[in-house]
Structure 1
Amino acid sequence: MSATHACTADTATEGSSPVLTRATAVAPGGDVHYLDMTWQPTRHWTSLATLNTYPTSVRVSVPALDLEMEITAPESGREIRTLTVGRAFWESPATVRGTMNGLPVSGTAVLQTRPDNTVGDIEHYMRRSHDIARAEAAAVYPDHPHDTAAISLLAGTHDGTRLDDTAPARLHQALVAPVLHLLDNPGRSWRPYISATVLGLLGTDPEPYRALTAATELMHTSALIVDDIQDGSLTRRGRPSVHEVFGTAETITSGTLGYYTFDPLFQRVPQADAPTMLRIYQLYLRAMRAGHAGQALDLAGHHAAFDEAVESGDPRPLLEQIRTTHRLKTGRLVRCTAEITAILAGADEPQLAAISRYFEDVGIAYQISDDVIDLYGQVSPDEYRQGITVRSPAEDLATGTVTYPVAHATGLLGKADRKRLHTALQARTDAGAIEASDLLMRSGALDVCLTEARTLVDHAWQTLDPLLPPTLHKVMVRALGWYAAQRVSEYDPHAPIRPTSSLSHTAPH
């Protein structure tokens, strides 16, 4: 007997619609019967190399034969990568268990899956890496408090340190639950993809390194948790911020602990020689220090330089301050992931330098476009057109933050409008945000920001491009750079921005 389940795929939404679900049964006498059936996957596996997801266990029911069976293949490792079908497909032996006419049946099968393999939306494609990162993070952030091994690993007590019987449950509530509140509500989730694609760039199979995705995602998640406290943000990704749910003191502890999960997660990947391992840990700690320095500069703000730019019309000193903040706070953390992964993959020094620079600049470009996209409520172009927002548009302007567009606008506006912009930001109100956004739109600052982001990435790519062989991963890395710099290009840069609701966050950055 054979069973076929075919679907049409929508590359934009990643949804699918079944077009054929049929069992073909051959009777002992040779008669062929085509029968209705149901096909229900019960387990999946996602490849880190291609981000294709495959069913590895399927429940099949054929009512006409009174047949119920479970087809079970290995959980991983049966992906066949080939450009003849796009990127890859799955084929593996499987076991069959079930009943027919009430009697037990068993046997063997071949389970084959050919996915659509089309990447229609780079953002949706990269977001698949979050599921891998979330599964790997369970090694230190388990769903349930009875997973005492994971909780001991997180708490650093796996060396045999004695805990009382209630400690795992209490630690789960105090340390795990706050992080899962944000981790289980993913954002764009492109950072975990970096480790996989850098390995692929250099010809290394990423599958043994799946835990790196969790280390990257937890680094970013922890930074967001702490940032929201320092910025006084009430929401994150459309839901209450972690500290609003769990309390400020508790969130500081749980959020900070996330930075230290790099070690137990990194121990789960193939280990390099001792000098290389030392180099990797030093890179990580250096990036953490840089990230905190960037956050310190962000919290201090750029108001003195803004005052001078408003008076002089020269934005260059102000822009240099903001660029430094973005490089330390965002660029260096993105670089850290790429640099560590490239070292593990055996990059030579020219490749390592070019990969490090490219991904640092991708991080900065993303932050520049993030400053622009804040005007639209941190959503995609399609979501914005549908009236969907994650947070109130122009929130940074309503809190008086001197952003990249604001800095560029001081060099594009006349003195009277510069002073109006200054007054609007100082007001830290919705009305001030409306006036500031109108000035930014008219100044052309958004176009200048996005041009700078694209130029930054393009220049870094010119150095990296000739050092890499032609592979699918190279194409995707280039696409990642375009995405980071151009993800707001579908917006009308001259459309007025209106905050959609009153902002209760009024603390300056």
Structure 2
Amino acid sequence: MRDVLDEWRPIIDEEIARHLPRDVDASYLAEFFGDPTYRYDAVALQEALSTPLWELLDRGGKRWRAVIFVLLTQAFGEDPETYLPYAVIPEILHNGTIIVDDVEDGATLRRGAPALHHVFGEDIALNAGNAMYFLPLKILTHNPGNLSAEARLAAYEMLMYELNRTHLGQGMDILWHNEKEIRVGEPEYLEMCACKTGCLGRIVARLAAIVTGQSAAVERYVARYAELMSISFQIGDDILDVETALEDGGEFGKEFGNDIREGKKTLMVIHAAETADPETVARLEEILWADENTDDEIEAVLDIFVETGSVEYAREQALALSAAAREALSKVELEPAAAEKLAAFTRFVVERNV
């Protein structure tokens, strides 16, 4: 799958640059956002919007959400070039959520460098991140692919529905890691993932189905595929944070034991709390609740995960979810070559090592 990602990433980045150029000027602002009432300050908007976004994009990121969109259009028998502007919508949204999440979580690093609010300040970071929730709506306004009025309305309504649910997921996640007690169970955790991460996946799939004119049934199945795969991706990401910390101190772009330091209630935390003895659970809660952690405390949590089998449990759940994603995909008649790549992605998100 890395070959597919490597092939499409420069194409996706070029398309993003068409809608949010690296160098912003007055003519672009008027064309994309409409004529000013008085006069835009292109220099300010360059530094406040374009520069922060491209600082983040240039650090890396797989662009897998945009690539899934491309593969789905191919699987539907359509030319992805016709709909390429829509592929960047979930990518812009995703990077906007990253910027805001890092401020909310007090994150230090992102993709191997200081989080954007440490580079540009919280005010610019939050404004840029929030702007990226709305920039994709301008793409719909320009109507690439000459969609019907019905299709455009369906896309707008879908985006509003799914974006609202992402904030439900983020709200749950924030509250949980601001609580000392590990009080939530696996169903609540999976619902959080389905909202926070799954909704971005659902946007990818539903948008591909809407702009290519697929039936409601097809839209439901591919949305389920993308949602399950995204939840699996989130669990895989949490496992990767732990395993990298266990192996080499965390060198994949985050702090050592970052999720533990933030007090996040991951599936491994929930499983450990349900499995360990009360004294161990109390110790786990104390460490996750602390404002700062020593490396020894991080090691203690990692030991708890190993002793309770929580890492392997989380991996089993991620694999089960990815299998369910492939089952949902199999319900739809798709072009075989693209369908095979879509299925392969469900394995990639769990088995990746970066």
Same-fold status (TM-score > 0.5): yes
1:391 paired with 2:254, answer yes
Tell me whether 209-218 or 123-132 shows the greater mean CA deviation: 123-132
Q: CA deviation at 1:371?
A: 1.2
What is the alpha-carbon distance in structure 2 between the residues aligned to residue 481 and residue 371 of structure 1?
Answer: 16
Count of aligned residue pairs for this structure pair:
351
Aligned-residue offset at 1:436: 0.4
CA-CA distance at 1:175 after TM superposition:
1.9
Deviations 1:400-432 (A, max 9, x none): 222111111123323333233223323340332
Match of 2:153 among 249, 253, 278: 278
Encode CA deviations 1:314-360: one digit per residue, 9 max, x unaligned.
Answer: xxx52222112111111011101111111222222322211010101
Q: Secondary structure at the match of 1:393?
A: coil
Cα deviation for residue 170 of structure 1 reads: 2.0
Paired residue type of 1:330: T
Q: Select 1:163's aligned residue among 39, 43, 61.
A: 39
Q: In structure 2, do the counterparts of structure 1 residues 469 and 337 end up closer, same or farther at CA, with 3 Å as the change threshold?
A: closer
| Partner AA of 1:402 in structure 2 | K
Unaligned runs of 5+ in 2: none
Query: Which TM-score applies when normalising by structure 2?
Result: 0.91
Other structure's SS at 1:185 match: coil
Secondary structure of the corresponding residue to residue 346 of structure 1: coil
Q: 1:153 Cα shift? A: 4.5
Contact 1:303-1:402 at 8 Å conserved across structures: no
**Using the alignment, how far apart are the partners of 1:387 and 1:451 within structure 2?**
23
TM-score (norm 1): 0.64
Q: Identify which of 331, 342, 347 aligns with 1:477.
A: 342
Q: Do the aligned residues in 2 keep the contact of 1:243 with 1:251 (CA within 8 Å)?
A: yes
- d(CA) in 1 for partners of 2:58, 2:20: 11
Give 1 or 2: higher helix fraction.
Answer: 2
Tell me how far 1:385 sits from its aligned partner: 6.9
Residue 185 of structure 1 aligns with an amino acid whose one-letter code is R
Shift of 1:460: 3.3
Per-residue CA deviation, residues 203-228 of structure 1 (Å, 9 max, x unaligned), is 11101112123222111011001111
> What do residues 246-299 of structure 1 show as CA deviations (whole Å, max 9, x unaligned)?
111122112111111112323252022112210111101111111112111111
Q: Is the 8 A contact 2:186 2:267 kept in 1?
A: yes
Higher relative contact order (CA 8 A, sep 6+): 2
Say which is worse superposed, 169-178 or 413-422, in terms of deviation: 413-422
Q: Which residues of structure 1 form unaligned runs of 5+?
A: 1-121, 309-316, 491-509
Alignment-derived partner of residue 406 in structure 1: 269
One-letter code of the match for 1:328?
C
Q: 1:396 to 1:250 in 2, by over 3 A?
A: same
Name the counterpart of 2:225. Answer: 358
Query: Is 1:448 aligned with 2:313?
Result: yes
1:468 alignment partner in structure 2: 333
- 2:119 counterpart of 1:240: no
1:151 to 29, 32, 35: 29
**In structure 1, how many angstroms separate the alpha carbons of the residues matched to 2:328 and 2:126?**
40
Using a 3 Å threshold, how does the CA distance of structure 1 residues 271 and 318 change in structure 2: closer, same or farther? same
* Greater share of residues in strand: 1
Instruction: Provide the secondary structure at the position in 2 that maps to 1:143.
Output: coil
Structure 2 vs 1, CA of residues 137 and 389 (structure 1 numbering), >3 Å: closer, same or farther?
closer
What is the one-letter code of the residue matched to 2:222? I
CA-based RMSD: 2.4
Report the CA distance shift for 1:171/1:346 in structure 2 as closer, same or farther (over 3 A).
Answer: same
Q: Which amino acid aligns with 2:343?
A: R
Q: What's 2:186 paired with?
A: 319
Identical aligned residues as a percent: 25
